[in-house]
Structure 1
Amino acid sequence: MSQKTIGLIGGMSWESSAEYYRIINQETQRRLGGVHSAQSLLFSVDFDEIKQLQHAGEWDRLAEHMKSAAIRLERGGADFIVICTNTMHRLADEVSSAVTIPLLHIADPTAERIKAAGHKRIGLLGTAFTMEQDFYKGRLQQRHGLDVIVPDADDRQVVHEVIYKELVLGKINPESRQAYRNIIARLIERGAGAIILGCTEIMLLVSGEDSAVPLFDTTTIHAVAAVDHALKA
């Protein structure tokens, strides 16, 4: 069976990009059998520079980084683009405009899975950029009709700092897991019937046992959707 070549923009952080690579290849082997693996290209950025530009609000400069990565992947033979991070989907339109191949947006397969499971009101965890800006919530609400709620300001700060001070460095702290459990519980009290793990590193910290409602892990959902697209006839 022929495969499309997956173009991965990674390194944001490499911890979650490694999960993308693992999931994509395991899912490809599961479907095709034998020693099959995914046909892919990975362009991995230096996250330190990306992180500094994010927190400085230098989104125009970040767009140039992302567009350059996408162009290199297209020139290398990628058939479609996957941005291996939720936050940088803030620049999804800029990335799409820089290449002629499609971009597989992380929010779309996530929303489809949520709707298929019958959920409407959902809690969103992610970086402050993802929780507070409209590029992600807005897509879920306007394109997919979901009711999205986010933690209050103090809880958003905790979620954000754990991501940038611990998870992107591969640090898994029990205290942070408990803090996330408490934040998830407060979202459930506000009516969330499910929770989106809307940062690709959060799956390293929490799992289904940490929540009384279903968790939708965007890393896994996005990676599996990439395999779906790559193997589609």
Structure 2
Amino acid sequence: MDTAHDGTLATVGILGGMSSESTVEYYRGVDAGINEARGGHAAGQVLVRSVNFADIEGFIADERWDAAGDYLAAAAEDLEAGGANFVVMATNTMHRVAPAIEDALSVPFVHIVDPTAGAIADAGLETVGVLGTRPVMEGEFYADRFADHGIDVIVPEAGRRQQIHDIIFDELTKGIVTEESREGYVAAIEELVDAGAEGVVLGCTEIEMLVAQADVPGTPLFDTTALHVADAVDRCLGVAASQ
């Protein structure tokens, strides 16, 4: 679909609620990007299907990934039925079940790793650290997707991984931001750099609430939320080809 010249916009379906904090950032980011491109009162054509985060938390805790895939695939189908031209999911962790969602849809599902990997490649980097939930840092699905783009991933040591995970679920998903937690994340980034990371992926859609580039000026940060949203804006405008 080429919407770049006729003034129309593609409709993005946002699969959200994981958590509401990140879902708001996706919605706001798409609208802001469209308005920047078009001016005036232009805004995105956006559908949001928000799920119950308690259900998602239960799937993660019990490692019921097949059930999670079925649950999110059904929610994504609601977006397609509502008229979405493509779907994004406002979470990193639940991309573990991306294949189930892709199989359920006939419209494109834009994987969060792909625009992030593109930005890393554009920066000329080959090895990055990853911060996120434990499933993101410890699961093969995330590292394997980066490997498909020729990018190697390293993660913090076990104790630091648990700290990072706990801050996400106990604080960030509830909108809580503390200086102590920021210091812990900055320390984790510094440790990843010492271990060989050339940059660091903020592999949870809430981490951008806590850490910014100004906190670690010497280390490139790749904000998956911002990069995913920017890709969605391009697709709405017809700039990015549907994959």
Indicate whether the TM-score tops 0.5: yes
Instruction: Provide the rounded CA distance (Å) in 1 between the counterparts of 2:15 and 2:90.
Output: 6
Aligned with 2:150 (options 106, 129, 145): 145
Aligned with 1:173 (options 155, 178, 202): 178
Task: Give the RMSD, CA atoms, in angstroms.
Answer: 0.8
Aligned with 1:50 (options 52, 56, 59): 56
Is 1:198 aligned with 2:198? no
Instruction: Provide the rounded CA distance (Å) in 1 between the counterparts of 2:33 and 2:236.
Output: 11
Aligned with 1:69 (options 66, 75, 86): 75
Name which of structure 1's ranges 48-57 and 3-12 shifts more when overlaid on structure 2. 48-57
Instruction: Provide the rounded CA distance (Å) in 2 between the counterparts of 1:134 and 1:191.
Output: 20
CA contact (8 A) 2:30 2:230 kept: yes
Amino acid at match of 2:95: H
Kindly report which structure 2 residues correspond to 1:79-158, keeping only aligned pairs within 5 A, or say none. Answer: 79-141=85-147, 143-158=148-163
Match of 1:209 in 2: 214
CA contact (8 A) 2:77 2:104 kept: yes
CA contact (8 A) 2:66 2:97 kept: no
Kindly report which structure 2 residues correspond to 1:31-50, keeping only aligned pairs within 5 A, or say none. Answer: 31-50=37-56
Q: 1:228 is paired with a residue of what secondary structure?
A: helix
User: Which segments of structure 1 move beyond 4 Å, counting only runs of 4 or more?
Assistant: none
Q: 1:220 is paired with a residue of what secondary structure?
A: helix
Amino acid at match of 1:208: Q
Kindly report which structure 2 residues correspond to 1:21-36, keeping only aligned pairs within 5 A, or say none. Answer: 21-36=27-42
**CA deviation after TM superposition for structure 1 residue 147, in Å:** 1.4
- Give % identity: 44
TM-score by length of 2: 0.94
Q: Which runs of 5+ in 1 are unaligned?
A: none
Instruction: Provide the rounded CA distance (Å) in 2 between the counterparts of 1:31 and 1:193.
Output: 32
Amino acid at match of 2:193: I
Q: 2:130 is paired with a residue of what secondary structure?
A: strand
| Residues 80-107 of structure 1, C-alpha deviations (whole Å, 9 max, x = no match) | 1101101111111100101111101110
| Residues 95-125 of structure 1, C-alpha deviations (whole Å, 9 max, x = no match) | 0101111101110000000110111111000
**CA deviation after TM superposition for structure 1 residue 30, in Å:** 0.1
Amino acid at match of 1:77: G
| Residues 121-160 of structure 1, C-alpha deviations (whole Å, 9 max, x = no match) | 110001000010011111101x110111000101100110
Match of 2:192 in 1: 187
**CA deviation after TM superposition for structure 1 residue 42, in Å:** 0.2
Aligned with 1:164 (options 162, 169, 176): 169
**CA deviation after TM superposition for structure 1 residue 35, in Å:** 0.6
**CA deviation after TM superposition for structure 1 residue 191, in Å:** 1.3
Q: Which runs of 5+ in 2 are unaligned?
A: 1-6
Instruction: Provide the rounded CA distance (Å) in 1 between the counterparts of 2:196 and 2:105.
Output: 40
CA contact (8 A) 2:10 2:85 kept: yes
**CA deviation after TM superposition for structure 1 residue 60, in Å:** 1.5
Name which of structure 1's ranges 63-72 and 196-205 shifts more when overlaid on structure 2. 63-72
Instruction: Provide the rounded CA distance (Å) in 2 between the counterparts of 1:50 and 1:38.
Output: 27
Instruction: Provide the rounded CA distance (Å) in 1 between the counterparts of 2:162 and 2:215.
Output: 20
Match of 2:4 in 1: none
TM-score by length of 1: 0.98
| Residues 6-54 of structure 1, C-alpha deviations (whole Å, 9 max, x = no match) | 0110000000110111111101100011110000100001101111111
Amino acid at match of 1:220: A
**CA deviation after TM superposition for structure 1 residue 2, in Å:** 1.0
Instruction: Provide the rounded CA distance (Å) in 2 between the counterparts of 1:135 and 1:161.
Output: 21
